Structure 1
């Protein structure tokens, strides 16, 4: 996620903090300073840091549950409204997602129970709901926040954990795409409710509403891509006609191709058609600014581009693209020669074509193959 900073790595998972989180700390400091002076301000900051420590543990609950099914968590990002654990891939079975989704809130239940036990069970509901009052007991408020995190995250709507629980339960009977769409629709409806309440009571709810709506929409789109990708091959949707660059080309020559075509990504291939790397438009601009048009295009080249065979499922290409956060996936033939590219644009176009097709029509696979393709 952009505008985030690495603050460490735990168990192979990078922990990031979004820049807006620091703005939250400043806002909390001033709000508490107005209530009780400098001491209250710093206690308020410490309380927020303690809350987000609980959020981190919540996200690592998801990560540990996902690891049980062989799913890595590349990074966790802290935002002003909570945490976001990015899984390398989606769970394959509904029950797997159910376990992963419920693991986070379960961590908060354990934290709240431990705090209440440490306080001798003396924390009352009236005290725990005074979260914004710096005069209330620190640990009591922290227990209250953890209980709130459980209740909030179990709301049955995306992107909350409850939405994933709902999808997992629906996916036992319905298709994955249909189950996701139902949970996403509930999430978007909830976003409108948050936005309305934000106009009346707390502007922070408007920010939460925007995040919930966008996250729910993105989840629905990802499920749609997954559903379509399962039914087609990589060769069905790859770009077949594209310009390539030789390793000896200069950045100036790459710029000429950029202006002469509609491409934003250019493969670099050797004399036998084997892929050596990829140069994107942004890479060109960066090297052009730093070294000028005579610099070798290879200095802007990205290596290690994910690749799939053209007869593999598109699902594998989408998974590799998401895991590597790559701008494209190379499509190869049986001799490892580059025969096509899959980009975010081609996947988006495929989704639009599917949506525009009359009901009952299916996406037809390309069966005609040239002599070069028969491999």
Structure 2
């Protein structure tokens, strides 16, 4: 994730802190300093640091549960809004996803339980005021962990509760349909939170937007995987496109842009090897800043990933999403460029997939 700083690793999973999290710590320290001086500032920073340690342990609950099923986690990033564990994939076996989803909140419940034992009694009055430095630190931390666990179990993506709901539904109606239903439930919950937020709690409006977009994103991702299932890159690639030789200049690219409907132009050498891709945005920027005689080699994007034409479309989609590239070069066995995969033609593939009627369910006969 961009703007994040690695601070260590645990058994192959890198721990990263986003720069905005450091800004949050500085802001918390400044606010507490204004209210109560240096001592209050230190207490505020310590509390937030311990709270985010709980968030980190929550994410590692997911990480270690996922590893039981062969799913690796390259990194965990701490953000001001929480933590993000980047799993290589989400287990599509419902029982496995259920275990992975519940592992995070379970960690928070365990932390809260340990803190209750250390407090040796019921929570003191005012422990729900987690930002009040006058309340016992352990009591506030226990309350915050309970809140994290309960909040994450709300039945809405991208919270763990949305994945729990999807896993339970998928056991009866399949993964794709279970995702659609869980996403709809999450979006209805988002509308409810949004309505409550209109009555004086702006934080609920932010949470509602976060939940709504998360549900839509999860539904879209599963639809994409469903459309790609069983396909190879050759099934989805664009094969009719205009390419540019390395000797071309921006002026030549502009002419190609005007006479075609393309937005991405591969730069291909005499051996039909991909050298890079020049996008419409790169072209316009170079034309404005450097002029029409600029070589395309200076304006193109050279770090374009490539994939073989017999590889699965799932692999191609993962590569496209991980790199954020404008296109993916598809090559034959000799390494020559034979096609392109772009977000635009993937979107068209999804529209075709959604428009096709579902095959009728098989009818069983008694006998």
In 2, the alpha carbon distance for the partners of 1:73 and 1:284 equals 37
1:184-211 deviations in Å (ceiling 9; x for gaps): 1111111112212222242111111111
- 1:87/1:209 CA distance change after superposition, 3 Å: same
Partner of 2:172: helix, strand, or coil?
A: coil
Partner of 2:71: helix, strand, or coil?
A: coil
Q: Which residue of 1 aligns with 2:277?
A: 278
- The number of aligned residues is 357
In 1, the alpha carbon distance for the partners of 2:42 and 2:358 equals 61
In 2, the alpha carbon distance for the partners of 1:41 and 1:23 equals 13
Partner of 2:4: helix, strand, or coil?
A: strand
- 1:360/1:100 CA distance change after superposition, 3 Å: closer
Q: 1:23-38 alignment to 2 at 5 Å? A: 26=27, 29-30=30-31, 32=32, 36=36
In 1, the alpha carbon distance for the partners of 2:337 and 2:314 equals 19
- 1:8–1:14: 8 Å Cα contact kept in structure 2? yes
- Which blocks of at least 5 consecutive residues in structure 2 are unaligned? 361-367
- 2:29–2:41: 8 Å Cα contact kept in structure 1? yes
Q: Which residue of 2 aligns with 1:327?
A: 326
- TM-score normalised by L of structure 2: 0.84
Shifted more, 336-345 versus 270-279: the winner is 270-279
- 1:306–1:321: 8 Å Cα contact kept in structure 2? no
Quote the offset at 1:160 in angstroms.
0.9
Q: Which residue of 2 aligns with 1:135?
A: 134
Q: Which residue of 2 aligns with 1:84?
A: 84
- 1:270/1:71 CA distance change after superposition, 3 Å: farther
- 1:64/1:292 CA distance change after superposition, 3 Å: farther
- 1:14–1:74: 8 Å Cα contact kept in structure 2? no
In 1, the alpha carbon distance for the partners of 2:22 and 2:190 equals 21
- TM-score normalised by L of structure 1: 0.82
1:300-339 deviations in Å (ceiling 9; x for gaps): 3323513131x44422321222233333222233443322
1:72-91 deviations in Å (ceiling 9; x for gaps): 33443434332222223232
1:98 equivalent to 2:95? Answer no
Q: Which residue of 1 aligns with 2:208?
A: 209
In 1, the alpha carbon distance for the partners of 2:86 and 2:133 equals 33
